[in-house]
Each structure stands twice: as structure tokens, then as C-alpha cells.
Amino acid sequence: MIRKNNKFSKRMIATVLIAIFTFTGCSSKPSKTDLPVSPTTAPGSENAGGASDSKREPLDTISMLVNYTGAEAPNEDSEVIKKIQEYTGTKLEIIWVPQSAYSEKLNTLIASKALPQITVIREVKAAGIVNAARSGMFWDVSSYLSDYNNLGNIDNNILRNVQIDGGQYLIPRVREVAREGAVLRTDWLNNLGLKMPTTIDELYEVLKAFTYDDPDQNGKNDTIGFSLKHNALPRFSTMLSVFMGGPNTWGIDSNGQVVPEFYFDTYTEALTWFRNAYADGLFNQDFPVCKDEMQNFNSGVAGMLFLGNVEDAATRVTDLNAIFPNATTDIFMTLTDGASGEKHLSAHTGYTGALAFPKTAVKSEEELLGILDFIEKLGEPEMVDLFNWGIEGETYTLVGNAVEQSSSQADTFGSRFNDFRQITPFYTTRHLEAVGLPELNTKITTMMNENVPYVVHNVTLPYISDTYVESGGEIETQINDAKIKYVIGEIDLDGWNQAIESWKKAGGEKMIKEYTEQYNADN
């Protein structure tokens, strides 16, 4: 008999329609870790520098629409803003929008044709963005990037992944490709005499112990294995499926067709893992409507979080130690299925959102070039150090040619300056390196580098399905809704298979054909 967790309401949640445009859209807060150099050339290399011999005067002002993930918007009087403005010679007028409300705000401004000069686009292949680009709303910067040193060195594959019909309407905010994983409470593991899981089965046993064996030793039945929010199931069921050897979102079947992950047995197995975990009460029963998975972790209710970005283990869980000073954490990025023992990791797209330049706000080519000059400067050493480390003396100490950052300095950076990095496409570019980082931060960097050989890419990233665009994303919403229904027990395996058949008829078969034709044309 399945043991039910009576700490949480067991009422089944009726049909929950959740519109998720992509599986990678959740922008994670960047961290203070010593990140590896990305596909963007680091300042200081022979190709790094400013805009190519530009004689243009800087624009007086530039308006921006930017998302933030912190508790409140960055201060417009911040020293970071002052230094950016001083270095670039341009005043910034930034509209900061909470990440949870960003899509709604963006859609409103698109409809009213009131977007600012630089607009952050979080879901680059969302139907609304594709349609906006096709309608001529954004500048195509394809012919300009090679004139710049920093912009011109963004990896071509990543640039291609954000193209729309071959047009470079977007400049990607570059990210590492090996970054997904999980963080869990190692003090709970120690209390229970357990070790870090290395297989999927071991993880399940750990989560069961976190739920039922009093891991915090308070004598109460008040904990769960992990916490999950409303739009995270597609992403992390993909992660689990890839651990088992499946494709990342879309893959190639035995007939050479590009097909979705749920055409493979591994995905059904992964989704069933979540179904069993839900029935066993191993994660929050309100996940279809939960918007903040961090609260359960930081309040000491949940012992683990799946992370779209393992750097979050060093930044977004800092509130845990404010409440539980003796809490300790560790991360993992790969689990084996216990059979082959092979490592697989779902690759990140190489970007989190992108920058677009609406023609309604950027009226001329000369103005566009001025904006590109500004962005180019964000990749120069002075600006890279500012975005990565903040203000010398306040958020880091310079020791020779290296950065030293105390815990209090790192916390100050995370709480006050971290979100400014949403502005720059050169997120992973390095100039000053760090010494003496906390053990967890160092491990994050090491694992992100070591796991690159194991990443599995989504083969459809460079392509666009017109069927998906014409559906306004509804075809994806329908299948994601079915995933939730299957996990919470509203439908059984037959119902899940019927949902796949419905997906085919609703346009899925056309999507397969469109993606396959584009993929075959390139390969």
C-alpha cells in the first residue's frame, strides 16, 4: 500500500492549464562562483576590446526593459548603474519588471508598440516573439556583429540558436551548457546516515527518508523530499529522462525523424517516477499552483531542489542559513540509471533569453549602431569585473590581480547587485579571477566544466515550427497539462498515451515533419 503524506492536502487538483513556451525559460539568478570562460571570448584576449574603431559619440540615453529575480527591483541609484553610465557615457532608463510578471508586461508593450530601445526577451521562440520578428518589429543585426570584437566573438552556434527564420533579431545572453542539477541538505543526509545519491534509485530512497524519517530530528512529521513549482515539471522530467539515456526535449528516432522526447520510453519512465513520488508524498502536493519552490527549501520543509542552474545553490538558497545556521548543502549534476552506468546531462541552450531592438523605439541605423556600441562596451574588462564582482571594497577585495570575496561581501553582491547581470550578454565572460572561494562555489565551477562532455543537446533549437507558432503555443500547453494530470493521478498511462495521440492530431505530426525537414537540410 502506498503510504500517503498526511502533512499536506491530498485533494487532487483539477485541470490545470499552464502555458509554458519553452523548457529553458526560467532564468536563474547568477552566482558569485568562479565561472568558466564561456563561448564568448574573454576580455584580455587578442580579439577583445571595444567597438571596432567606432568614432560615434555615445547615445545620451538608452531605455531598457529588464527582468529581475530578487525580492525587489535593483536601486536606480546603485553604484553599479553609476559606473555603467560613467564608463559608457550613456544614461540608462531601466524598466525593471519582476520575472513572474515579465511575460505579461512584455506582451502588453508589444501590443501597444511601446517597447524600449533594448528589450530583454526571455522566451526567444515563443509564438508572440516569432510573430513580432516576422512582422518586422525588431532590427536584424546580422550584418553588424562582425564589426565588433566582443559581440563578434559570441559563439556562432549560440547565435544561431536564437535566430528566427535565419535573421539575427536577438543577441543571446550567453550561459554555460552544463548547468542543470540539484541541491540537497547534507546535514539531513548525515542525520540519517545516508550518502549523496549517485543513481536514480538512490535518489528516490533519499527523498523517501527525507519525507518520513525525521531528517531534521525535531520529532515532527513536517518534512518532504523536494519542492517543485508549477512550470518546472517539463524541465525536470526531461532531466530525469536524459539521465536514463533519452533525448533532450526533441531527438532523432530510429527512422531518422526528429520527434519529441515523449516518443521514447525513457520519458514515460521519468514521468512515472514523478507520479510515484507524488503518490508517496515526496514533494509538495500543491506543485501545479506553486509559484515559489524556494520557500519550502529555505523554510526547512524540503530537503532538495532540482535546479535549472546549479549556481543557484550558492546564491538563491542563502536564506536557508539565516534560519538554520548549521544547515549544509551539496549538489549533483548527473545520476545514472544503475544499469549502463553512463553519464548523460540535458544541455542548456547556451543562453537565457536575449536582447532585442524594436524599430518602434530605435528609429534609425545610426541609433542602432549607438546601442550596439553601448552593448559592446559591456564586454570590456572594466564592465565584466563590475558585473561579475560588483564594487571593490564593498563586494570584493582585490588581492594582486585576483578577487577575494568574503561571505558577507558575496551576500551583499547577491542581494544588491546580482540582477544587474540580466543586462549583459557577456554573463560568462571573465577578466579578474577569484581566489579562496567557498568549497561549494569551487565545486560548482569544477562540475560545470567536467560535465560538458556528457551534455545532450536539443536538436531543434536552431529551427522554428510554423505549426507551433500558429497555435500560439497552445499545442505545447496541452501536452504539458497532460503531464501534470498524469503525475497527480488524474489520468492513467492509457490517458497519457491518449494525450500523445491528441497532440499528434492537434499539430504534433506537422511539427515533426517541419523539424525533420529543417534538420535534414542541415545534416
Please give the full DSSP string across 490-509, using - where no structure is assigned.
Answer: SS-HHHHHHHHHHHIIIIIH
Distance CA 405, CA 413 (A): 10
Would you give the DSSP letter of residue 262? G
Output the pLDDT for position 408.
84
Buried b (16+ CB within 10 A) or exposed e, 484-506: bbbbbebbeeeebeebeeebeeb
Whether residue 45 contacts residue 320, with contact meaning beta carbons closer than 8 Å, is answered with: no
Instruction: Report the DSSP pairing between strands 118-121 and 258-260.
Output: unpaired
Per-residue pLDDT of the chain in tens (523 residues, 90 and over written 9): 333 343 433 333 333 333 333 333 333 333 333 333 333 333 333 333 344 456 799 999 999 999 998 888 998 899 999 999 999 999 999 999 999 899 999 999 999 999 999 999 999 999 899 999 999 999 999 999 999 999 999 999 899 999 999 999 999 999 999 999 999 999 999 999 999 999 999 999 999 999 999 999 999 999 999 999 989 999 999 999 999 999 999 999 999 999 999 999 999 999 999 999 999 999 999 999 998 899 999 999 999 999 999 988 987 777 898 899 999 999 999 999 866 789 999 999 999 999 999 999 999 999 999 999 999 999 999 999 999 999 999 999 999 889 998 878 888 888 889 899 999 999 888 899 888 777 888 899 899 999 999 999 999 999 999 999 998 889 999 999 999 999 999 999 999 999 999 999 999 999 999 999 999 999 8
Q: What is the pLDDT of residue 318?
A: 72
Report long-range pairs for 210-216 (Cβ below 8 Å, ≥24 apart): 210/185, 210/282, 210/302, 210/303, 210/304, 211/5, 211/280, 211/281, 211/282, 212/3, 212/5, 215/185, 215/188, 215/189, 215/191, 215/303, 216/188, 216/191, 216/300
Q: Does 181-342 match 61-175+352-429 at the fold level?
A: yes
* Structure confidence at residue 53 (pLDDT): 55
Length of the chain: 523
Name the E strands within 59-190: 61-68, 91-98, 118-121, 171-174, 181-185
Distance, CA of 361 to CA of 64 (rounded, Å): 10
C-alpha cell at 392: 571593490
The cell numbers describing 214, all together, are 525525521
- For residue 185, give the C-alpha cell: 541538505
State residue 163's pLDDT score.
Answer: 95
CA 396/CA 276 separation, integer angstroms: 46
What is the per-residue pLDDT for 39? 35
**What CA–CA distance (Å, rounded) separates 150 from 418?**
22
Per DSSP, 53 falls in state: T
Helices and strands in the chain: count of H runs, count of E runs: 18, 15
Burial (0-12, 13-18, 19+ Cβ within 10 Å), 121: buried
**CATH number of the domain located at residue range(s) 61-175+352-429 in this protein:** 3.40.190.10
Q: What is the pLDDT of residue 316?
A: 75
Residue 450, classed as helix, strand or coil, is helix
Q: What are 491's three cell numbers?
A: 489520468
Among 22, 16, 109, 7, smallest CA distance to 464 is for: 22
Report residue 473: phi and psi, to 5°: 85, 0
H/E segment holding residue 369: helix 365-377
The set of cell numbers assigned to 368 is 542602432
Residue 54: the pLDDT is 63
Q: Give me the residue label for grid cell 542543470.
A: 180
Strands 258-260 and 250-252: antiparallel
**For 181-342, CATH number?**
3.40.190.10
For the chain, the domains span: 61-175+352-429, 181-342, 466-517
- Angle in degrees, CA 37, 426, 57, rounded to 5: 135
